[in-house]
Amino acid sequence: MDYHAINLSEKLSKFSERWSPKVIGEMNEYQFKLVKILGDFVWHSHKETDEVFIVLDGEMVIAFRDGEVRLSKGEMYVIPKGVEHKPYAKKECHIMLVEPKGLVNTGETTSELTAENNVWI
């Protein structure tokens, strides 16, 4: 049988939209999504789940109501469920998210940045 690796760079080369998560893999009820980000996202939280950010290229910041964490290439962070956060990046940054299938990117916040869900590349 043929088995094919999921190549992150190759997948990243397939899209240019920002703040628009693309699914590249599924593990049980979780998904791995690539996102290109630039500028400010909206404040939001996911009351039902933790969420993992892994920076593949560039730098980003995740703001919390009482602080922030800076993430560079090769760094990750687990946002605890229910915690309000706002990601932003001064220059385009490429990240991988790990989160439950069906999770809305803007959580409990309605926004023009709310993206279509379950888009595979």
| Given 19, 21, 32, 37, the residue binding its own copies (CB under 8 A) | 32
In a 10 Å sphere around its CB, with 0-12 CB exposed, 13-18 middle and 19+ buried, how is residue 85 labelled? buried
| Given 40, 50, 84, 92, the residue binding its own copies (CB under 8 A) | 50
Residue 94, number of CB atoms within 10 A of its CB: 19
Residue with tokens 């809305």: 104
Range 61-80, binding its own copies (CB under 8 A): 62, 64, 66-72, 74-78
Instruction: Give Cβ neighbours of residue 61 (< 8 Å, ≥ 6 apart).
Output: 68, 69, 70, 71, 87, 88, 89
Residue 120 binds its own copies, judged by CB under 8 A: no
Would you mind telling me the total number of residues written for the chain in this entry? 121
Residue 116 binds its own copies, judged by CB under 8 A: no
Nearer to its own copies, 10 or 17 (CB): 10
In a 10 Å sphere around its CB, with 0-12 CB exposed, 13-18 middle and 19+ buried, how is residue 27 labelled? exposed
Give min distance, CB of 113 to its own copies, in A: 23
Residue 114 binds its own copies, judged by CB under 8 A: no
- Residues forming contacts to its own copies in the complex (CB under 8 A) are 1-9, 24-28, 30, 32, 49-52, 56, 62, 64, 66-72, 74-78, 81, 98-100
